[in-house]
Amino acid sequence: MDRETDVVIVGTGAAGLFGALQLPESTKITVITKDAAENSDSFLAQGGICMLRSEEDYGPYYEDTMKAGHYRNNPQSVEMMIRSSRQIIDLLIGYGVEFERQDGELAFTREGGHSRPRILFHEDITGKEITGKLLNQVRKRSNITIYEHTEMIDILCQDNICHGVVVVDSHGNVEPLYARDTIFACGGIGGLYRHSTNFSHLTGDGIAIALRHQIALKDVNFVQIHPTTLYSKKPGRSFLISESVRGEGALLYNARMERFVDELLPRDVVTHAIEEQMEKDGRPYVWLSMEKIAREDILGHFPNIYQRCLEEGYDVTKECIPVVPGQHYFMGGIQSDLDGRTSMERLYAVGETSCNGVHGANRLASNSLLESLVFARRAALDIAAASRQKLPGERVRFEPEKYTDRKTMQQENRKMVLQEIERMKKAYEQQHNHDVKCG
Ligand SMILES: Cc1cc2nc3c(=O)[nH]c(=O)nc-3n(C[C@H](O)[C@H](O)[C@H](O)COP(=O)(O)OP(=O)(O)OC[C@H]3O[C@@H](n4cnc5c(N)ncnc54)[C@H](O)[C@@H]3O)c2cc1C
């Protein structure tokens, strides 16, 4: 591995790959990922990606996003995301991404929390379609090199300036990788939880490194639980039953086969209702029925869900499936501005690892792929515009002896992130109770 690059990007999800493609082709870019390039949550996205269809929908889309986020969102971030959406979709289509169409026009679906259909999709594998096509594009670029099974374990920094990252390469060697600019696009924290829809190697490593180096974090108490994952006694990643299934008419039933909640309410509200119902029923799941959706629509729109449920022994065209809430998304993260800049110079954070407040306390369905792409592009444009000089690598001393006991370091990192989430949750609750008391 070359130890010097212009920009190092940590992560091969939608944010990392799209960011790499938005940087000038004259920039030497090194993209690293802890696992295989395809193993990112971006590949798992089922439901779709939002787009502002017309000026008439700006107000409703903005309001839906703010309402889902409990109005804790940063209004500038929300506006930026929505206003940029058409351009992002055009860029994706330019990279060969195919979305469902009706009579040649883009087709839109709806999910929980959306007052109108504004979600583009590709069957129920939208993330694979988008991220797979981005990966193909990246692989064609001679200025971008991807290193798989290469893990960032620290950053190189001095005087609050980032000079690159420390990695464990695919042979197990600890190496410095000096870079003029560094982008964290290292995803969520699901790997820290027992039940999660995320890949288990996504363990909030960027957050842990930020904590170790006093890089500002934001809203880390906001962790989203998805209301409907397929209940299974088998260990491993929980399989998500996309919200768009409920958007298309699927219903939730309790043990007596009665409905107990409006299925199209925001995620946290539906999750809460399911948890209460499971408690009442004394069961670890509730039922989800797709009987209101025509068989051909299930097979056409949700072939992946149909197939996966079949493998678990359920034919969703004929019977209900058991579902249970599971950790799904991290709204908080490394504090970033609208250009992805963090509190450390030359360090950017984009995608799920970052937080510019766009999601507030709870993400609206299908806003996260869009958010990842919008702000990854802005970070790339900011880096390109800055046209900074490379810092001499030897200015920062690389101390390999710090990384001899990596197992302990990893355990400490996990503990540190979860403790910070709990600490911030308590602080938030106290503040909330105080605000309520004081009217
Ligand atoms: C099952 C599921 C369904 C979803 N459906 C939707 C949907 O329909 N619509 C929507 O908008 N969003 C959806 N999401 C959320 C969305 O997919 C993610 O929020 C978004 O893709 C995050 O992209 P990202 O690039 O930030 O992170 P990811 O795609 O998770 O990529 C993170 C990358 O960082 C790498 N990495 C992590 N740590 C390190 C390290 N220490 N060193 C090196 N590399 C590292 C990983 O290997 C990976 O390549 C879904 C998520 C899940 C789990």
- In the chain, where the domains are located: 4-222+331-423, 227-326
**267 counts as catalytic:** yes
Say whether 118 sits in a helix, a strand or coil: coil
375 vs 88: CA distance, rounded Å: 10
Token pair 């990007």 is at which residue? 9
Q: Is 330 left (phi over 0), alpha (psi -120 to 50) or beta?
A: beta
Q: How far is the CA of 333 from the centre of ligand 1 (A)?
A: 13
User: pLDDT in tens for each of the 439 residues of the chain?
Assistant: 889 999 999 999 999 999 999 999 999 999 999 999 999 999 999 889 999 999 999 999 999 999 999 999 999 999 999 999 999 999 999 999 999 999 999 999 988 889 999 999 999 899 999 999 999 999 999 999 999 999 999 999 999 999 999 999 999 999 999 999 999 999 999 999 878 999 999 999 999 999 999 999 999 999 998 999 999 888 778 999 988 899 999 999 999 999 999 999 988 899 999 999 999 999 999 999 999 999 999 999 999 999 999 999 999 999 999 999 999 999 999 999 999 999 999 999 999 999 999 999 999 999 999 999 999 999 999 999 997 777 766 678 899 999 999 999 999 999 999 999 999 999 988 887 777 677 6
How many whole angstroms separate alpha carbon 350 and alpha carbon 231? 32
The rounded Å distance from CA 262 to ligand 1 centre is 28
Distance, CA of 24 to CA of 7 (rounded, Å): 11
367 CA: nearest ligand 1 atom: 11
Ligand 1 within 6 A of 109 CB?
Answer: no
Token pair in block for residue 207: 């957050």
Is 202 touching ligand 1 by the criterion CB < 6 Å? yes
Q: Name the active-site residue from 118, 180, 267, 378.
A: 267
* CA 19 to ligand 1 centroid distance, Å: 14
Q: From ligand 1's centre to the CA of 99, what distance in Å? A: 20
Fold of domain 227-326: Flavocytochrome C3; Chain A, domain 1 (3.90.700)
Q: Which atom of ligand 1 is nearest to the CA of 16?
A: 25
Cα separation values, 235 from 93, 195, 196, 325, Å: 37, 9, 11, 15
Q: What is the CATH number of domain 4-222+331-423?
A: 3.50.50.60
Whether 197 is in the pocket of ligand 1, judged by its Cβ within 6 Å, is yes
User: Residue 88 phi/psi, 5° resolution?
Assistant: -65, -45
